Amino acid sequence: MREFRYEKAADPAGAVALLSGEPEGAYLGGGTNLVDLMRLGVATPDVLVDVRRLTSDQVEELPDGGLRIGAAVPNADLAADLRVRQRFPLLAQALLAGASGQLRNRATTGGNLLQRTRCTYFTDTTMPCNKREPGSGCGAVDGFHRNLAVLGATDEGPTSAHTCIATHPSDMAVALRALDASVRVLGADGERVVPMAELHRLPGDDPSRDTTLARGELITAIDVPALPWATRSRYRKVRDRASYAFALVSVAAALDLDGSTVRDVRIALGGVAHAPWRATVAEDALRGGPATEEAFTAAAEAELAAARPLPDNAFKVPMATNMITRTLVQLAEARA
């Protein structure tokens, strides 16, 4: 592990000022991802700015009936919050589907959104990886890619400086994407609000960048707007092990019905793209239509038509289709 300097700021603005002047620095929250990457030699910050106790660790009510989640709220506390469990069950379920109990006790809400891919080629410094070392190529394309992206990935060939088929690992981020949450960040130019739809990036021509955050910007809170019909919601995750494994495919969904007609619907996918994937094609196909298994399947197939799988992860396409269908069927059957 590279030697580093440890700093503690008095407040969030002080932390931003510290890190903004350190091109190789990083924020330290729970450390559940960053410290692992430092041990592997993937992350090599020369300065760590501790922000664990600088942002709120509380869940607060918003005027519209939504919730503001402090960036320092532990994942375990957020999953156990009665308001989250009652109003946004898909979010509580997503949190409980991630990591182990010990890690959920330590991991923070802000840090969860910023965790980096677990692609084998990213975490192994002996392998080529455009995300870790731009221009080195993507070893996964012709290597082990069973758990990697089928949507939104660059596909210019393994030697391209832009190729990346990594997936985003967060379960919580998928649920927040379905809920149209927004992220409050503090930077050198003050505070701004970033919609979840704009926080994470697809690889494009720079797979080394996971988010749209500017250098030194600090997540201070996440706002989840009121969505009364999110009480009928669910997070479903398929993985290789029953616990402590990242998603092969996951689905966050909420369904609003008017009799047997879909009035509104939210669907987001995990494990299939470089960022949490909002299934807007499927949503548009379902609104105003019948709440039937056939309609759910047709909408899911329309969403997955854009998939570009590789030989060893082609199974994700029918898996995601089936998961969307079964999740919506169960939500429709569970209506009050």
Distance CA 302, CA 175 (A): 21
Q: Are strands 25-28 and 47-50 parallel, antiparallel or unpaired?
A: parallel
Distances (CA, A) of 282 to 152, 305, 315, 321, 325: 16, 10, 19, 10, 11
246-249 CB contacts, 8 Å cutoff, 24+ apart: 246/118, 246/147, 246/167, 246/169, 246/271, 247/97, 247/169, 247/171, 247/271, 248/147, 248/316, 248/319, 249/316, 249/319, 249/320, 249/323
pLDDT for residue 221 = 98
The pLDDT mean for the chain works out to 95
pLDDT over 50 at 120, yes or no? yes
Amino acid at site 30: G
Q: How many residues does the chain have?
A: 336
Q: 210 with 201: CB under 8 angstroms?
A: yes
Burial (CB < 10 A; 0-12, 13-18, 19+), residue 252, is buried
- Mean pLDDT to the nearest integer, 67-73: 98
Distance CA 253, CA 265 (A): 7
Per-residue pLDDT tens digits for 125-174: 999 999 999 999 999 999 999 999 999 987 655 557 679 999 999 999 99
Amino acid at site 51: V
Q: List the one residue out of 214, 188, 187 whose CA is nearest residue 199.
A: 214
- For residue 74, what are the β-bridge partners? 108
- Mean pLDDT to the nearest integer, 192-218: 95
- Mean pLDDT to the nearest integer, 254-274: 97
Q: List the one residue out of 216, 251, 240 whose CA is nearest residue 118.
A: 240
- For residue 138, what are the β-bridge partners? 129
Higher pLDDT, 189 or 156: 189
User: How many degrees, rounded to 5, is the angle at CA 278 between CA 184 and CA 140?
Assistant: 100
Give every CB contact of residue 173 below 8 A, 6+ residues apart in sequence.
Answer: 112, 113, 196, 200, 270, 276
Burial (CB < 10 A; 0-12, 13-18, 19+), residue 36, is middle
Six token digits for residue 294: 């056939």
Q: List the one residue out of 2, 320, 33, 26 whose CA is nearest residue 169.
A: 33
- Mean pLDDT to the nearest integer, 296-306: 98
Give every CB contact of residue 4 below 8 A, 6+ residues apart in sequence.
Answer: 38, 45, 46, 47, 48
Per-residue pLDDT tens digits for 85-109: 999 999 999 999 998 888 899 999 9
pLDDT for residue 156 = 58
Residue 54 phi, psi (nearest 5): -95, -30
Six token digits for residue 88: 């946004």
pLDDT over 60 at 274, yes or no? yes
Q: CA 202, 203, 208, 209 torsion: positive or negative?
A: negative
pLDDT over 70 at 20, yes or no? yes
pLDDT for residue 336 = 47
pLDDT for residue 99 = 83
Please state the pTM of the whole predicted model: 0.96
pLDDT confidence bin for 66, thresholds 50/70/90: very high
